[in-house]
């Protein structure tokens, strides 16, 4: 986040206003509060930096050195391709703002970006964030941005800049929105290409941590419809946390295990496709990893659907089809793997801390997703 420029010497301009004149602070924008946030988040940003980050804290733009042809760094790229994406957290921020739980949505923001990035086979390099809000309260604003920094640490990328916009005419008191922009790199020959997916390939799913950051408009409607108490512990969920805390569980970040997995196969391309399961569920995301001559056949019952989804479906009267179309249903990421390497890939993922499940296979088709 860029601080306001300061000057040690104040220049007096005669004849231009008075002590009772209009001020920027009086219009709702507090420059000093913004500067205070910059100072508060400095340690969190520094923790995400590595030897490739250049420039000073609070500069007009972040600088990141691509390690191409530099023996100093850990990796050299013969034919590097930059991969970029941008995303936000959606109406999950509304629940976070209403409940005053501000330290996790930044993780969601990073997750929604880097999980898309790694689908292309890319290694995340750096991240930028945008925070728009009604009023800058330095401690609370710092919590949000520190969450972004924590997400970057989990993802293994550097937070090199961002923007904090105080706009009381746009946002209601207490409201805010957070979005991000991620950049990664992949060797051209190692980029994931849906054209490589073949019948017989195996679908391997990685568990989600809950709703993640999609479908919250429906979640909030269910809560309203069923008059659910967000501040209560619901025995149906088999969780000691309140419903609000369960719903605000951050989106899982899959970057490090996926990057480790891909880098462990330097020659063989054992992963033929991947999908980040976001809004649209399995039907609306797994199909994006396919070409039009194959289909993904998903075996229902091959993984345990978390009780949270049963809870939401029951209280909202939502159909099975709509649940599958909106939510991840317990699977946040899917890999499509050559059959002879499926067991080895699952063992590697387990060593990297994941709980992979074999959830189906690729068959001949028309680029669709089928459930059986």
- The CATH code of the domain that includes 311 is 3.90.650.10
**% pLDDT > 70, the chain:** 83
Model pLDDT, residue 27: 59
d(CA 196, CA 171): 46
Shared-domain flag, residues 201 and 183: no
d(CA 275, CA 115): 9
Determine the average pLDDT of the residues in 65-89.
Answer: 76
Residue 288 domain-assigned? yes
Shared-domain flag, residues 216 and 141: no
Residue 16 domain-assigned? no
d(CA 30, CA 41): 17
Question: Is the pLDDT reported for residue 1 higher than 60?
Answer: no
Which of 188, 215, 250 is at the close of a domain?
Answer: 188
Among the listed residues 12, 283, 37, 294, the one whose alpha carbon sits nearest the alpha carbon of residue 148 = 37
pTM: 0.87
- Per-residue pLDDT tens for 334-351? 999 999 999 999 999 999
Residue 4 domain-assigned? no
Residue 79 domain-assigned? yes
- Per-residue pLDDT tens for 183-207? 999 999 999 999 999 999 999 999 9
Determine the average pLDDT of the residues in 86-103.
Answer: 95
Number of domains comprising the chain: 2
Shared-domain flag, residues 299 and 162: no
Question: Which CATH number characterizes residue 165's domain?
Answer: 3.30.1330.10
Residue 297 domain-assigned? yes
Residue 167 domain-assigned? yes
Shared-domain flag, residues 307 and 321: yes
User: Which domain range does residue 275 map to?
Assistant: 194-371
Give 1's contacts (C-beta < 8 A, 6+ positions apart): 34, 37, 38, 41, 58, 129, 131, 145, 161, 162, 163, 164
Which of 139, 155, 188 is at the close of a domain?
Answer: 188
Which of 163, 188, 213 is at the close of a domain?
Answer: 188
Shared-domain flag, residues 151 and 248: no
Question: Is the pLDDT reported for residue 309 higher than 60?
Answer: yes
| C-alpha atoms less than 13 angstroms from C-alpha of 29 in its C-beta half-sphere | 12
What kind and span of H or E run contains 343?
Answer: helix 342-351
Instruction: Yes or no: say if 306 and 247 are a contact pair by the CB < 8 Å rule.
Output: no
* pLDDT, the chain, mean: 88
Residue 12 domain-assigned? no
Model pLDDT, residue 16: 47
- The backbone region for 108, taken as left when phi is positive above 0, alpha when psi lies in -120 to 50, beta otherwise, is alpha
User: Which single residue is written with the structure tokens 């629940």?
Assistant: 95
Q: Name the band, by pLDDT with cuts 50, 70 and 90, for residue 131.
A: very high
Residue 71 domain-assigned? yes
């Amino acid at each position: 986040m860029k601080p306001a420029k300061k000057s040690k010497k104040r220049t007096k301009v005669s004849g231009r206003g008075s002590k009772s004149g209009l001020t920027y602070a009086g219009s709702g924008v507090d420059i000093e509060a913004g500067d205070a946030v910059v100072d508060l988040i400095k340690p969190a940003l520094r923790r995400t930096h590595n030897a490739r980050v250049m420039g000073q804290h609070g500069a007009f733009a972040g600088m990141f050195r691509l390690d191409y042809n530099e023996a100093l760094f850990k990796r050299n790229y013969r034919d590097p391709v930059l991969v970029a994406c941008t995303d936000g957290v959606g109406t999950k921020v509304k629940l976070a703002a209403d409940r005053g739980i501000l330290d996790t949505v930044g993780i969601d923001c990073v997750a929604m970006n880097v999980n898309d990035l790694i689908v292309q086979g890319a290694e995340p390099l750096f991240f930028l964030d945008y925070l728009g809000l009604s009023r800058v309260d330095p401690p609370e604003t710092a919590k949000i941005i520190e969450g972004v920094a924590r997400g970057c640490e989990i993802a293994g990328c550097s937070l090199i800049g961002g923007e904090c916009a105080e706009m009381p005419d746009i946002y209601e008191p207490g409201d805010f929105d957070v979005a991000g922009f991620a950049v990664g790199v992949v060797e051209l020959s190692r980029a994931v290409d849906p054209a490589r997916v073949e019948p017989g390939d195996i679908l391997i799913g990685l568990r989600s941590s809950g709703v993640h950051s999609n479908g919250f408009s429906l979640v909030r409607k269910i809560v309203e419809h069923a008059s659910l108490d967000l501040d209560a512990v619901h025995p149906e969920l088999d969780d000691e946390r309140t419903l609000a805390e369960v719903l605000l569980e951050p989106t899982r970040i899959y970057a490090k295990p996926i990057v480790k997995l891909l880098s462990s196969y330097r020659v063989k391309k054992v992963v033929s496709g991947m999908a980040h399961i976001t809004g649209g569920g399995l039907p609306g995301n797994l199909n994006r990893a396919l070409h039009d001559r194959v289909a993904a056949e998903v075996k229902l019952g091959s993984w345990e659907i978390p009780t949270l989804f049963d809870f939401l479906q029951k209280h909202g009267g939502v159909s099975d089809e709509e649940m599958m179309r909106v939510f991840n249903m317990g699977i946040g990421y899917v890999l499509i793997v050559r059959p002879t390497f499926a067991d080895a890939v699952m063992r590697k993922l387990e060593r990297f801390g994941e709980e992979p499940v074999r959830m189906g296979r690729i068959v001949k088709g028309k680029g669709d997703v089928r459930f059986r």
